Amino acid sequence: MNYAIETAPLDSLKYDCLILGVYQDLQLSATTHSINISTKGLINTIVSRGDINGKNGETVLINAIPDNPIERILLVGLGENKPLTSKNYRKALLAAINSLKKTNIKSILCCLADVEVIDANQQWKTRQIIEVFNDAIYQFTAYKSNKEITSKIEKIGIFSPEAELISTQLGLNQGRAIADGMNLTKLLGDLPGNICTPSYLAEQAFELGKKYPSIDISILEENDMEKLNMGAFLSVSRGSRQPAKLITLNYQGGKKDDKPIVLIGKGLTFDAGGISLKQAPGMDEMKYDMCGGATVIGSFLAAVQMQLPLNIIGLIPSSENMPDGDANKPGDILTSMSGKTIEVLNTDAEGRLLLCDTLTYAERFNPDVVIDMATLTGACLVALGRIPSGLLGNNDTLCNDLLTAAEMSNDSLWRLPLWEEYHEQLKSNFADLANVGGKDAGTITAACFLSQFAENFHWAHLDIAGTAWRTGTNKGATGRPVPLICQYLINRTYG
Ligand code: BES
Ligand code: MN
Ligand code: ZN
């Protein structure tokens, strides 16, 4: 995608289509008003005919502008003429791009950065335009013979007043980095399990390291993990023919002595459940069980592009969870790297087995904070649906920082408690703890399990089972929580 910021008069610019906002009750945004004058009242004519009444998300395409070099105009309804909520602003942007992405239009100029949005500045609005447009344009066509279906849009322009140029530029830089990160995360999530294996994920990390020398990549193979006594992690990969990998990404953008932010992402490239096999309907979707890991990779891409002055470590424990003669069996007892023993009551609760050893491993980086992201529990979907990710953690400052970042990035979170009463559910008759805590409060008990391996640092856990993926006819990866993680990193830099 090409991007440009435009400050010159609108009718001197060469774009296939301008995107202009109109409010309810025939009111025009400032930029739309100026175009109305230069087109001798064309916009007013269209609006007063009732072809668009300005409700949020309505669109009308005007594809011929008499006596004017402008090729086309898309009018977008903004709703009432008062500052928009951030959600309504994004809704209007989404409506605009959705109505243009299926046309032959190649270049679009968005003139919606002048719209007033509550608590938002030019930088934020520019970023949202880039993020929302890119999100809508993304399509996974790698395995489609007919590539015609891809969007033709090649160039996105942002119209900015001269006085706001610097903040438009900042917004564009951040928006582009986050959009690129989301695209990579979505691509990895959409790739099928026969292509995107643990080895493939490791290769993708290597590719990123080749392209950006400021990221160092290293891989722990199964024999390395054996030496570290990662008995919980390895018990899961024993059931798969694909070798497991623990991928480490290391970005040292900060000062030498700055403690790193450690990002951990669950990387199950396919979760069949193991011996506690999942049911057949919808099992294909379990290729997205690596979206936590993909979020780490996407966030690293965004972080280097933004050249954030932070030290960040990424850890991606990656494996398949398959039924096999050598797979975990219910009742098996494992010894984790921490020394704690775990009774496997359900082999489908495999994510926490990978993550617990990775959390113990994270201690050696002397982390400032550790944030793990995992498609960990179906229970999270039951509790929260697909709107917010679940947030649990052992440190209020970290959790509050994440909640703030979630609000700013429109990538929402909802915190759940980690009270000690819930730990009761993980008691085992035979080992230090069981890997499942019964049917009640599944998201919480999963996090309780992890918390026992995160006692030595500030830690937060994001359950992204509901938010990393869209289900139904439009199924596919969402790229979340890349915007949230990037916002957190940006806030850590400037906040
Ligand atoms: N990867 C799944 C969780 C999941 C389910 C993610 C649905 C996305 C959509 C995880 O490994 C799992 O199987 N969890 C079990 C835990 C249970 C056995 C305690 C679950 O949620 O059913
Ligand atoms: Mn599972
Ligand atoms: Zn899983």
| Interval 306-340: pLDDT, tens | 999 999 999 999 999 999 999 999 999 999 999 99
Single pTM value for the model: 0.98
pLDDT-derived band at 264 (thresholds 50, 70, 90) equals very high
* Rg of the Cα atoms in the chain: 24
Segment 209-251, tens digit of pLDDT: 999 999 999 999 999 999 999 999 999 999 999 999 999 999 9
44 φ, ψ to 5°? -60, -40
Pocket of ligand 1 (CB under 6 A): 271, 289, 346, 348-351, 375-379, 436, 442, 465
3-state secondary structure of 414: strand
Domain 182-494: CATH superfamily is Zn peptidases (3.40.630.10)
Nearest ligand by distance to the CA of 273: 2
For range 195-219, the mean pLDDT = 98
Closest residue by Cα to atom 17, ligand 1, is 349
Confidence of residue 146 (pLDDT cuts 50, 70, 90): confident
As a CATH number, domain 2-160 is 3.40.220.10
Q: pLDDT tens for residues 103-140?
A: 999 999 999 999 999 999 999 999 999 999 999 999 99
Please report the atom of ligand 1 found closest to the CA of residue 278: 13
Q: Which ligand 1 atom minimizes the distance to the CA of 289?
A: 1
Ligand 1 mutation target, pool 276, 348, 436, 440, most atoms within 8 A of CB? 348
Distance 349 CA to ligand 2 centre (A): 5
Fill in the DSSP letter of residue 258: S
The pair of three-digit structure tokens given for residue 9, joined into one six-digit string: 């008069």
Residue 188, both tokens = 């990895």
* Pair 250, 323: CB distance under 8 Å: no
For the chain, what are the domain ranges?
2-160, 182-494
Residue to substitute in 279, 354, 376, 443 for testing ligand 1 pocket (most ligand atoms within 8 angstroms of CB): 376
> What is the Å distance from ligand 2's center to 272 Cα?
7
* Helix residue ranges per DSSP H, 191-315: 198-211, 222-227, 231-237, 291-305
Query: Do 2-160 and 182-494 agree at the fold level?
Result: no
Q: What are the catalytic residues?
A: 278, 352
Which pairs from 359-362 meet CB under 8 Å and 24+ separation?
Answer: 359/264, 359/450, 359/453, 359/454, 359/459, 360/336, 360/453, 361/228, 361/230, 361/246, 361/315, 361/337, 362/262, 362/264, 362/313, 362/315, 362/457
pLDDT at 494: 83
Q: Is 273 helix (H, G, I), strand (E, B) or coil?
A: coil
User: How much is the average pLDDT of 50-75?
Assistant: 94
348 Cα–ligand 3 center, Å: 7
369 CA distance to ligand 1 middle (Å): 26
